[in-house]
């Protein structure tokens, strides 16, 4: 199993600790692959400017953007240091990845030592069920299959977490029978095999059955 970096969806200042850890882990002699397709196509250029501005100070200066992921192979991914899947509409992102038949390729890439960073929607799709986004994203894509890549054991990922979301999370758990890792915007997790470490300036929250656990920075879930 490779390494995953899941961001709660904050801005560059909020995700700085996770981004720095990510930059330390990747081979910076290779280009980074950026996939922004959770966003509308009209925003791709500004997304590319944003990621360069955010990651260049951390030493990541060679970034390739794919706005079309059709007809790609795992060998194509192996040319990169890591894959960065950006935020946007989670339903649209998963539908696009499914339509282009790259879901299984991404999963195989992660399972064979690849590195994937997911920001917001990009983090949610790495979990078990993407309906954790349904309170903030519209399903305009007409998606009726809500399983993610299931790379975070049994957990689904809840981004942009606030305490007032607790009732929604409990309702989600009742409906879909899956525990939840909830990430505020200042928080992320680094996943290495079965180890999940909290990175950031605020804790992560783990919802399981009727329990809500607080997991502080640098501690493991």
Q: Strands 83-85 and 32-35, how do they pair?
A: parallel
Among candidate residues 26, 24, 23, 32, the one with its CA nearest the CA of residue 79: 32
Rounded Cα distance between 42 and 105, Å, is 26
Distance between CA atoms of residues 220 and 191, nearest Å:
10
What band does 1 get if pLDDT is binned at 50, 70 and 90?
Answer: confident
pTM score of the predicted model: 0.97
Q: Is the pLDDT confidence value at 8 over 90?
A: yes
Half-sphere exposure for 19 (CA within 13 Å, toward CB): 23
Q: Shortest CA distance to 188 belongs to which of 58, 20, 63?
A: 20
Average pLDDT on 171-176 reads 97
pLDDT tens column, 57-113: 999 999 999 999 999 999 999 999 999 999 999 999 999 999 999 999 999 999 999
Grade residue 209 by pLDDT with cuts at 50, 70 and 90. confident
Domain ranges of the chain: 3-215
- Tell me how long the chain is: 221
Residue range 3-215, CATH number: 3.40.50.880
Over the stretch 98-145, which tens digit does the pLDDT of each residue have?
Answer: 999 999 999 999 999 999 999 999 999 999 999 999 999 999 999 999
Q: Using a pLDDT cut of 90, give the percent of the chain over it.
A: 99
């Amino acid at each position: 199993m490779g390494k995953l970096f899941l961001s709660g969806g904050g801005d560059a200042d909020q995700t700085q600790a996770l981004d720095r850890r990510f930059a330390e882990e990747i081979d910076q002699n290779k280009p980074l692959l950026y996939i922004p397709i959770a966003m509308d196509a009209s925003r791709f250029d500004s997304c590319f400017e944003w990621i360069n501005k955010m990651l260049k100070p951390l030493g990541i200066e060679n970034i390739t953007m794919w706005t079309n992921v059709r007809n790609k192979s795992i060998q194509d991914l192996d040319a990169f240091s890591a894959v960065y899947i950006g935020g946007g509409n989670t339903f649209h992102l998963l539908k696009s990845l499914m339509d282009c038949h790259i879901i299984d390729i991404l999963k195989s890439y992660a399972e064979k030592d690849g590195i994937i960073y997911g920001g917001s929607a990009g983090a949610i799709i790495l979990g078990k069920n993407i309906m954790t986004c349904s309170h903030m994203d519209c399903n305009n894509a007409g998606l009726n299959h809500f399983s993610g890549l299931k790379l975070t054991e049994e957990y689904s990922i809840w981004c942009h977490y606030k305490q007032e979301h607790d009732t929604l999370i409990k309702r989600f758990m009742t409906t879909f029978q899956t525990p939840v890792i909830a990430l505020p915007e200042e928080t992320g997790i680094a996943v290495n095999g079965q180890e999940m470490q909290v990175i950031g300036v605020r804790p992560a929250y783990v919802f399981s059955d009727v329990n809500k656990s607080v997991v502080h920075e640098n501690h493991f879930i």
